Amino acid sequence: MKSMSSSRKPQINILNGPNLNLLGQREPEIYGTTTLADIKTSCEQKAIELGLSLCFTQTNSEGTMVDEVQAAMKETDGLIINAGAYTHTSIAIHDALKALSIPKIELHLSNVHAREGFRRRSRLAPAVDGLISGFGAHGYELALEAIHRLISS
């Protein structure tokens, strides 16, 4: 964990990957009708409750995701990543996560193990501290609670 002054709130970054900007429209039978904006709002409320500072971003670009993970090395105390489809394909994101010494949680809205076979393999899982999957939009709040516990211990 980064050294924090007593007045600085721990900084948590939530990084969302490809197609998550389409939440609420894309396959609502799998992902629900909650939008990414709705999730951001609930995360901001949960962060206030937990005494955390929050950065919430989304990108469809693998390179930008790598850049964001690397940027987390500077002033971030914990990272929550929903890499979407890059979870199953990106060695580059895996390598960037391995370089981080802060707590990291992989997050998925759906239960990836109950879906297509290719979704059951995460290239990111070996590089993170924990995984939350299958709780829909509520998984983001669970991830914030978990990351708070990791940085507080």
> Per-residue pLDDT tens for 77-119?
999 999 999 998 999 999 999 999 999 999 999 877 656 676 6
**108 in catalytic set:** yes
**Token pair belonging to 91:** 């060695």
**140 in catalytic set:** no
Mean pLDDT, the chain, whole residue set: 90
- According to the model, what pLDDT value does residue 75 have? 86
Q: Three-state SS for 123?
A: coil
> Among candidates 114, 124, 38, which has minimal Cα distance to 79?
124
Distance from C-alpha of 140 to C-alpha of 16, rounded to nearest angstrom: 11
Instruction: Let me know if 148 is exposed, middle or buried by CB neighbors in 10 A (0-12, 13-18, 19+).
Output: buried
> Among candidates 72, 75, 74, which has minimal Cα distance to 105?
72
* Structural domains in the chain plus CATH codes: 11-152 (3.40.50.9100)
Q: How many CA atoms lie within 13 A of 126 on its CB side?
A: 7
Which residue in the list 31, 86, 140, 148 is annotated as catalytic? 31
Which residue in the list 86, 88, 94, 108 is annotated as catalytic? 108
At residue 35, what is the residue type? T
pLDDT beyond 50 at 140: yes
> Per-residue pLDDT tens for 19-28?
999 888 887 7
